[in-house]
Amino acid sequence: MAAPEEHDSPTEASQPMVEEEETKTFKDLGVTDVLCEACDQLGWTKPTKIQIEAIPLALQGRDIIGLAETGSGKTGAFALPILNALLETPQRLFALVLTPTRELAFQISEQFEALGSSIGVQSAVIVGGIDSMSQSLALAKKPHVIIATPGRLIDHLENTKGFNLRALKYLVMDEADRILNMDFETEVDKILKVIPRDRKTFLFSATMTKKVQKLQRAALKNPVKCAVSSKYQTVEKLQQYYIFIPSKFKSKRLGSLNKFKAKARSILLATDVASRGLDIPHVDVVVNFDIPTHSKDYIHRVGRTARAGRSGKAITFVTQYDVELFQRIEYLIGKKLPVFPTQDDEVMMLTERVAEAQRFARMELREHGEKKKRSREDAGDNDDTEGAIGVRNKVAGGKMKKRKGR
């Protein structure tokens, strides 16, 4: 990390700038009317705890360290002050948001564009796994906000002609602990060296690790620390249960992110892949198929539901081998979880039907595979078969010629 400048220790925001019980709207926090209307259209009826603490301070021009439980509305806590400032002093390449993953980058971009749709805000997502040329063209248009993973951003800073961040006004490091755990320290250091020192910086993290503290000293000036929870805990509206289930009867993993996006699924079977960076508002239930080895990962997994003031359920499968891990989780969150009511007899009656259906499915798949193999072998014996002729027609454009002759 870059050599730290001489900055004061972060000031604790011990009391919210506006008392939560008195806050009814985002307007009370100082957010301008056009952005308040955007919040209403998104269904953000009232600010979350981290927004209540961070937004007024950010609007005053302070650097912010935000420590908040997952699903607490952190994106709004930094997006609204940035857009508010952008309205006052319009400028291209105004803000940079660094994130650890592609998925999180696209979600943040969606929220920026939704909040700023009525004022014409343009954003660009710069992440790996996507064509660099199309990203270079997007950067050439000079968007207002860039959301990027550190590695790909460095590629463009070094190789994309005419692109620089010398006029940047705002830097956000979201999920800073995860950025550093993914060994992006060198990239972050390079970015800090090529952006203006005279800027506003927001650092958001689930945990305050030694690496994050070092980054805070290097990147922030006299920051205010906004922590909405002093210990590891889950949100109040999350109902948590466990189901004790013998290991041999555990269900199969299911799931696709696209099915959630399409609202075709509302139950998430969680592994550590889903523990952070996914914001799917309509997830009603999270099922922990396996208990996480690290108890803190449980907090992040169940945080996929009951987000931003909504309610939700989390159910954890506990086998005879998981009791100790489960007790560690209960100790961490400071509560004893109740057993989820189930009809064991009815469930066990279904296991035979499920096993039979699986057996038939495997047989059908095997037969289907054998038929395809035989058809390929038959086609290979005689290249003048109808199938081969059809392929040659398509390649040579024969099908189109036939249509013209009709």
Give all strands (DSSP E) within 167-266, no chain letters.
170-173, 200-205, 224-227, 238-244
Does residue 232 have a pLDDT over 90?
no
- For 303-314, give the secondary structure using H, E and C: CCCCCCCCCEEE
What tokens were used for 294? 């690290």
Question: Given this model, what pLDDT does residue 311 score?
Answer: 76
Q: Are residues 49 and 88 in the same domain?
A: yes
Q: Are residues 151 and 97 in the same domain?
A: yes
- As beta bridge partners, residue 148 has 98, 126
Q: Are residues 82 and 182 in the same domain?
A: yes
Question: Given this model, what pLDDT does residue 347 score?
Answer: 76
61 HSE (CA, 13 A, CB side) = 4
Question: Given this model, what pLDDT does residue 6 score?
Answer: 41
Summarize the confidence of residues 136-160 as an average pLDDT. Answer: 95
The whole-angstrom separation of Cα 399 and Cα 406 is 11
Q: Which residues contact 92 (CB under 8 A, 6 or more apart)?
A: 142, 143, 144, 167
Question: Given this model, what pLDDT does residue 233 score?
Answer: 54
Nearest CA among 99, 110, 111 for reference residue 187 = 99
In a domain? residue 41: yes
**Which range marks the domain in which residue 373 is found?**
350-401
Span of 50-54, 192-196, 279-283 with lowest mean pLDDT: 279-283
Does residue 45 have a pLDDT over 60?
yes
What tokens were used for 35? 């952005």
In a domain? residue 270: yes
Among 157, 192, 227, which residue terminates a domain?
227
Q: Are residues 123 and 100 in the same domain?
A: yes
Q: How many domains, in total, are found in the chain? A: 3
In a domain? residue 6: no
Cβ–Cβ under 8 Å, residues 279 and 101: no
In a domain? residue 233: no
Among 301, 326, 342, which residue terminates a domain?
342
Q: Are residues 76 and 149 in the same domain?
A: yes
The whole-angstrom separation of Cα 301 and Cα 195 is 34
Q: Are residues 81 and 106 in the same domain?
A: yes
Question: Given this model, what pLDDT does residue 181 score?
Answer: 78
The whole-angstrom separation of Cα 404 and Cα 399 is 9
CA distances from 240 to 31, 49, 177, 237, 306 (A): 35, 21, 26, 10, 11
pTM for the model stands at 0.60
What tokens were used for 223? 């920051």
In a domain? residue 152: yes
The whole-angstrom separation of Cα 228 and Cα 209 is 17
In a domain? residue 1: no
Residue 244, domain CATH: 3.40.50.300
Place of tokens 């014409």: 120
The whole-angstrom separation of Cα 108 and Cα 95 is 13
What tokens were used for 300? 């992040």
Q: Are residues 75 and 209 in the same domain?
A: yes
The whole-angstrom separation of Cα 282 and Cα 306 is 9
Question: Given this model, what pLDDT does residue 207 score?
Answer: 79
Span of 57-66, 276-285, 342-351 with lowest mean pLDDT: 276-285
Q: Which residues contact 189 (CB under 8 A, 6 or more apart)?
A: 1, 2
Q: Are residues 325 and 355 in the same domain?
A: no
In a domain? residue 2: no
Q: What confidence tens digit (pLDDT) does each residue in 296-312 have? A: 778 777 776 666 566 78
For 229-258, b where at least 16 C-beta lie within 10 A, e where not — what string? eeebebbeebbbebbbbeeeeeeeeebeee
Q: Are residues 326 and 250 in the same domain?
A: yes
Q: Are residues 147 and 247 in the same domain?
A: no
Q: Are residues 358 and 330 in the same domain?
A: no
In a domain? residue 129: yes
Question: Given this model, what pLDDT does residue 70 score?
Answer: 63
Q: Are residues 104 and 205 in the same domain?
A: yes
Nearest CA among 113, 184, 192 for reference residue 157 = 192
Among 227, 251, 270, which residue terminates a domain?
227
Question: Given this model, what pLDDT does residue 125 score?
Answer: 95
Question: Given this model, what pLDDT does residue 365 score?
Answer: 87
Please report which confidence band the pLDDT of residue 167 belongs to, taking 50, 70 and 90 as the band edges. very high
The whole-angstrom separation of Cα 212 and Cα 331 is 26
Cβ–Cβ under 8 Å, residues 289 and 268: no
